[in-house]
């Protein structure tokens, strides 16, 4: 079992953001999640792009209904045959599912001791799974920061920003447009953080 470590405030925030994105993209937000988001404490005057994006998500949650969010999730990510968006790294990088990027990802997941839950039919390059993995890596005592940076660059930075931009701009999105915006600004910040810490 991977040991958690004491985290500085900045890393706690990163874990929180990755975990939030993973939850919102793994399944439709339920009533409890929507209420949590609707009651986010952002302070009296949130500043910075991530804070503004969280404010947008809070407002979207306040206006959302569970049934509508469920319908939107299925339209966007599941659909009949496939949804408006395909939330898999292999698709974004090659135009096909189950291609070489997934094979390379699986090798790294084995190396770090990660595996998808039994019964989960989605390949491991699903956006939610990768956000969850990244949260666990940041929170781990056993995975060095250099390995985190390599994993992010190899399996997330190459396609995930495009996915979040597509989600943000998708006509079928309403609540998830705010999720797309949050993902866009957070990944830009994360890429900057990774680049800074690589030097």
At residue 151, the pLDDT reads 96
Which residue segment(s) compose the domain that 84 sits in? 9-198
At residue 79, the pLDDT reads 83
pLDDT band (50, 70, 90) for residue 1: very low
At residue 71, the pLDDT reads 97
Query: What is the rounded distance in angstroms from the CA atom of residue 189 to the CA atom of residue 84?
Result: 26
Mean pLDDT of 26-54: 90
The answer to whether position 93 is within a domain reads yes
- Given a contact cutoff of 8 angstroms between Cβ atoms, the answer to whether 84 and 170 are in contact is yes
Predicted model pTM: 0.92
The answer to whether position 3 is within a domain reads no
Name the phi and psi angles at 173, rounded to 5. -90, 140
pLDDT greater than 80 at residue 11: yes
Residues in the chain: 199
pLDDT greater than 70 at residue 29: yes
Q: Tell me how far CA of residue 123 lies from CA of 24, 74, 199, in angstroms.
A: 17, 18, 33
At residue 97, the pLDDT reads 93
The answer to whether position 132 is within a domain reads yes
Q: What is the CATH number of the domain that holds 38?
A: 1.10.3480.10
Q: Which residue has the higher pLDDT, 192 or 90?
A: 90
pLDDT greater than 70 at residue 96: yes
Q: Per-residue b/e over 79-112, b at no fewer than 16 CB within 10 Å?
A: eeeebbbbbbbbbbbeeeeebebbeebbebbeeb
The answer to whether position 99 is within a domain reads yes
Which token pair is 69? 């969010």
The answer to whether position 129 is within a domain reads yes
Question: How high does pLDDT run on average in the chain?
Answer: 92
* pLDDT, tens digit (0-9, with 9 covering 90-100), for 101-138: 999 999 999 999 998 888 888 899 999 999 999 999 99
The answer to whether position 4 is within a domain reads no
The count of domains in the chain is: 1
* pLDDT, tens digit (0-9, with 9 covering 90-100), for 141-174: 888 999 999 999 999 999 999 999 999 999 999 9
Which token pair is 73? 């999730």
At residue 196, the pLDDT reads 79
At residue 64, the pLDDT reads 97
Query: What is the rounded distance in angstroms from the CA atom of residue 37 to the CA atom of residue 55?
Result: 9
The answer to whether position 2 is within a domain reads no
**Sign of the torsion formed by the C-alpha atoms of 91, 96, 101 and 103:** positive
pLDDT band (50, 70, 90) for residue 3: low
């Amino acid at each position: 079992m991977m040991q958690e470590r004491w985290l500085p405030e900045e890393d706690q925030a990163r874990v929180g953001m990755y975990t939030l994105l993973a939850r919102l993209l793994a399944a439709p937000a339920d009533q409890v999640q929507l209420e949590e988001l609707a009651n986010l404490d952002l302070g009296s005057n949130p500043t910075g792009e991530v804070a503004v994006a969280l404010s947008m998500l809070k407002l979207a949650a306040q206006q959302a209904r569970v049934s509508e969010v469920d319908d939107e999730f299925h339209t966007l990510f599941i659909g009949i045959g496939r949804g408006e968006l395909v939330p898999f790294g292999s698709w974004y990088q090659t135009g096909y599912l189950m291609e070489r990027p997934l094979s390379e990802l699986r090798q790294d997941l084995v190396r770090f001791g990660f595996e998808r839950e039994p019964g989960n039919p989605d390949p491991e390059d699903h956006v939610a799974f990768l956000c969850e993995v990244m949260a666990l890596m940041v929170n781990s005592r056993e995975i060095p920061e250099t390995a985190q940076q390599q994993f992010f660059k190899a399996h997330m930075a190459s396609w995930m920003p495009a996915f979040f931009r597509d989600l943000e701009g998708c006509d079928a999105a309403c609540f998830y447009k705010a999720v797309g915006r949050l993902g866009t600004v957070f990944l830009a910040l994360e890429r900057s953080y990774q680049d800074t810490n690589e030097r």
